[in-house]
């Protein structure tokens, strides 16, 4: 968990805004350090967390969280964390064909039946965030984390289906249950993949209209720098007519157990 970022966002595990949809995006850089931050942040806050991991295995996220002082294994055993091995589930279907009926995961039904959209995945999220209602451990408001939604583009899911999925998740998690959502999307397709790049841009624009806060991670305009790894544009999006969005730009450096943030121009490494 990065205390400097908490200060920038004016939040803490003891006091954070409920009903918020945070969109994390990156371009020619890696924003995964922010996903690790929010995962440890909400677990420390005592929230019930549903994590959809389409990029890495559970052991990867667990190893990083351990360095940040959070045990994902304990959180999952206590029922605080529900982790979907999206990468593993998808590979099972794509590489091995149809598994036994008893071992099928309806969360990846979109791979077996593209026409079904992401209803199975939404049902998984809904049952996970409602799992503590009416009994069990007294967890805080539910939180949905997705790393990363744009992976589904390469699995044949349409932008419309993903925007619908996000909309229904936000209606359930943020509006109805007063929890939170954090989604990561990437926009850096290879030059020859123009259609995919266009879809990722459409996805980013659509999600931006839904969210309340965006964190856009980019490379430095001046190029590579050993002491500064990139910059983050933080934008608080207003939902009230007549109010302008507020933006701030920060440069950052990622360490093994933390991240430092600098207001643009205040770092001695980059002006």
User: Which domains does the chain carry?
Assistant: 27-210 (3.40.50.300)
CA dihedral of residues 91, 76, 52, 68 (deg, nearest 10) = -110
Confidence of residue 134 (pLDDT cuts 50, 70, 90): very low
Query: Is the pTM of the predicted complex or chain greater than 0.75?
Result: yes
223, pLDDT greater than 90: no
82, pLDDT greater than 80: yes
pLDDT of residue 252: 86
Confidence of residue 78 (pLDDT cuts 50, 70, 90): very high
Rounded to an integer, the average pLDDT of 107-116 is 78
Rounded to an integer, the average pLDDT of 67-95 is 88
Q: Cα-flanking dihedrals φ and ψ of residue 145, to 5°?
A: -120, 135
d(CA 130, CA 202): 31
pLDDT of residue 130: 86
Q: How many CA atoms lie within 13 A of 155 on its CB side?
A: 28
Choose among 239, 14, 34: nearest CA to 145.
Answer: 34
Confidence of residue 4 (pLDDT cuts 50, 70, 90): confident
Q: Angle between the 32-44 and 58-67 helix axes, to the nearest 10 degrees?
A: 70
Choose among 75, 60, 179: nearest CA to 125.
Answer: 179
d(CA 67, CA 159): 35
Cβ atoms 129, 144 nearer than 8 A: yes
d(CA 260, CA 252): 5
pLDDT of residue 35: 95
Query: For residues 252 and 207, which has the higher predicted lDDT (pLDDT)?
Result: 207
d(CA 192, CA 185): 20
Of the listed ranges 64-68, 131-135, 148-152, the one predicted with least confidence:
131-135
What does the mean pLDDT of the chain come to? 84
Query: For residues 105 and 29, which has the higher predicted lDDT (pLDDT)?
Result: 29
pLDDT of residue 89: 82
Query: Is omega for the bond preceding 148 within 30 degrees of 0, making it cis?
Result: yes
Rounded to an integer, the average pLDDT of 180-187 is 94
d(CA 235, CA 25): 12
pLDDT of residue 80: 95
**Residues 6 or more apart whose Cβ sits within 8 Å of residue 68:** 1, 36, 37, 40, 257
Where b means 16+ CB within 10 Å and e means fewer, 110-138 reads bbeeeeebbbbbbebbbebbbbbeeeeee
């Amino acid at each position: 968990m990065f205390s400097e970022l908490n200060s920038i966002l004016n939040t803490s595990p003891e006091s954070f805004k409920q009903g918020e949809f945070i969109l994390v995006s990156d371009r020619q850089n890696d924003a995964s350090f922010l996903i690790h931050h929010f995962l440890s942040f909400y677990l420390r806050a005592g929230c019930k967390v549903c994590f959809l991991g389409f990029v890495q295995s559970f052991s990867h996220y667990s190893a990083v969280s351990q360095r940040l002082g959070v045990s994902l294994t304990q959180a999952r055993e206590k029922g605080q964390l529900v982790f979907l091995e999206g990468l593993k589930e998808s590979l099972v279907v794509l590489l091995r064909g149809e598994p036994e009926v008893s071992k099928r995961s309806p969360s990846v039904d979109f791979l077996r039946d593209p026409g079904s959209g992401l209803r199975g995945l939404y049902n998984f999220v809904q049952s996970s965030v409602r799992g503590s209602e009416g009994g069990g451990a007294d967890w805080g408001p539910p939180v949905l984390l997705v790393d990363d939604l744009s992976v589904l583009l390469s699995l044949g899911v349409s932008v419309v289906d993903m925007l619908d999925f996000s909309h229904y998740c936000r209606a359930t998690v943020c509006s109805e249950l007063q929890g939170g959502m954090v989604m990561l999307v990437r926009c850096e397709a290879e030059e020859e993949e123009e259609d995919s790049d266009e879809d990722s841009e459409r996805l980013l624009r659509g999600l931006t209209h839904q969210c309340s806060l965006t964190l856009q991670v980019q490379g430095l305009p001046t190029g590579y720098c050993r002491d500064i790894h990139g910059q983050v544009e933080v934008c608080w999006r207003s939902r009230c007519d007549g109010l302008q969005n507020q933006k701030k730009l920060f440069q950052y450096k990622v360490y093994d157990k933390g991240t430092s943030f600098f207001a643009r121009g205040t770092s001695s490494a980059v002006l």
